[in-house]
């Protein structure tokens, strides 16, 4: 039997109305939840990477940007309890917390290559961790790539000069046997294990979390030395060596991880979700790049290929509440010292993304 035209139109109209009134799919953004306040302890902490030699004016500038957290890169002379306590008091006058700190011995060739001098440097690092613990500074950043070549030159992009790395140029014109012999992957793993098993117990006793930066650039071997943290599997192995300690974790440099592209084992968003779920994601470097190896150059965070709004939203989705730092900020015209113009540019961009992510996630 044929359906009368009037009944057909009535039925079609009901179907159409039902489609319009149907609930949004579960994956849709829930905008009914009140956004979290920027300074809520559960939220992402916008921060700046600074030296231990900041002036009071520098600290005032950070306060004017609305920052309440910093990561401090120290000299060996500064990496002690007395200096850190005084620096912490100075920052406190501007309502700024030292959230993380870096001791230069973490990048030591002696530690990385397993030389006899490493034991004295490891003791120095242990004392540093104890100082952080006494001052309630929660994170110590470090890296482990003694054979690294960071750059093959500079390039001007959008009027600013930035680092470029070209793997072909490196292999043909730059690379050399830097330390007189080859250091294979298993030997480097032995050296990492020697280091981490001596410092991690001190970090645990001091309630300091150790945040491991990936190898930048993520090239598996450079200058005769194997590099361990150029792939997700390297982080998994290190986590096992560390006994899956809650005080061992990841400093995810978005720029570095983006440099490797698909060869990294997991993309940036998968890394955030994997380590964030395990509460082992301790800090973020919020940097962008032009593309992936074999050649890339650095950019402002809004100007590269990586989807930085999605990065910020994913951080909020996993409940990340560590620091997010504008990293390797390009120097703008007339910039000096803290690179006020570039820093303000990056902080404003990150804050806009965070506000939107807070609206989307709650």
Residue carrying structure tokens 């730092």:
325
Strands 225-226, 221-222: parallel, antiparallel or unpaired by DSSP?
antiparallel
Instruction: For 215, list phi and psi in degrees, rounded to 5.
Output: -70, 125
CATH 3.20.10.10 is right for the domain spanning 36-361? no
Evaluated on CA atoms 64, 38, 27, 251, the torsion sign reads: positive
C-alpha span between 343 and 332 (Å, rounded):
10
Cα of first residue to Cα of last residue in the chain, in angstroms, is 53
Domain map (residue ranges) of the chain: 36-361
C-alpha span between 231 and 260 (Å, rounded):
8
Q: What is the pLDDT of residues 63-113, one digit of tens each?
A: 999 999 999 999 999 999 999 999 999 999 999 999 999 999 998 999 999
Q: Please give the model's pTM, rounded to 2 decimal places.
A: 0.90
Q: Is the separation of the CB atoms in 217 and 253 below 8 Å?
A: no
Q: Is the pLDDT of residue 137 over 80?
A: yes
Q: Confidence class of residue 27 from pLDDT cuts 50, 70 and 90? A: very low
What is residue 46's three-state secondary structure?
strand
C-alpha angle 46/272/244, rounded to 5°?
A: 110
| CA distances, 65 to each of 54, 60, 147, 249, 326 (Å) | 16, 9, 37, 29, 13
User: Residues 314-320: what's their mean pLDDT?
Assistant: 98
């Amino acid at each position: 039997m044929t359906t009368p035209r009037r009944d057909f139109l009535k039925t079609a109209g009901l179907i159409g109305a039902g489609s319009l009134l149907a609930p949004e799919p579960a994956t849709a953004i829930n905008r009914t939840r009140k956004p979290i306040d920027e300074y809520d302890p559960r939220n992402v902490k916008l921060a700046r990477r600074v030296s231990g030699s900041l002036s009071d004016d520098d600290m005032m500038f950070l306060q004017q940007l609305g920052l309440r957290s910093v990561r401090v890169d120290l000299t060996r002379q500064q990496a002690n309890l007395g200096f850190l306590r005084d620096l912490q008091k100075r920052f406190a006058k501007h309502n700024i917390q030292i959230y993380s700190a870096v001791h230069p011995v973490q990048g030591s060739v002696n530690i990385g290559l397993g030389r006899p001098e490493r034991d004295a440097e490891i003791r120095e690092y242990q004392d540093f961790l104890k100082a952080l613990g006494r001052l309630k500074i929660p994170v110590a950043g470090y890296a482990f790539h003694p054979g690294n070549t960071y750059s093959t030159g500079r390039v001007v992009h959008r009027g600013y000069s930035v680092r470029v790395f070209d793997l072909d140029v490196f292999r043909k014109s730059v690379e050399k046997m830097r330390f007189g012999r080859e250091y294979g992957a298993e030997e480097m793993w032995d050296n990492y294990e020697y280091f981490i098993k001596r410092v991690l117990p001190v970090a645990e006793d001091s309630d300091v979390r150790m945040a491991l930066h990936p190898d930048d650039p993520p090239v598996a071997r450079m200058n005769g030395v194997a590099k361990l943290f150029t792939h997700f599997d390297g982080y998994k192995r290190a986590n096992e060596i560390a006994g899956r300690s809650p005080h061992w974790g990841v400093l995810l440099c978005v720029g570095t991880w983006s440099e490797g592209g698909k060869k990294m084992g997991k993309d940036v968003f998968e890394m955030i979700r994997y380590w964030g779920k395990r509460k082992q994601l301790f800090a973020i470097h919020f940097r962008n790049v032009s593309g992936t190896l074999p050649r890339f150059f650095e950019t402002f965070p809004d100007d590269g290929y990586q989807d930085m709004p999605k990065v910020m939203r994913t951080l909020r989705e996993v409940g990340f509440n560590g620091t997010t730092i504008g990293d390797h900020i390009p120097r703008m015209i007339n910039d000096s010292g803290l690179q006020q113009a570039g820093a303000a540019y990056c902080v404003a961009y990150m804050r806009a993304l965070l506000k939107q992510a807070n609206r989307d996630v709650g």
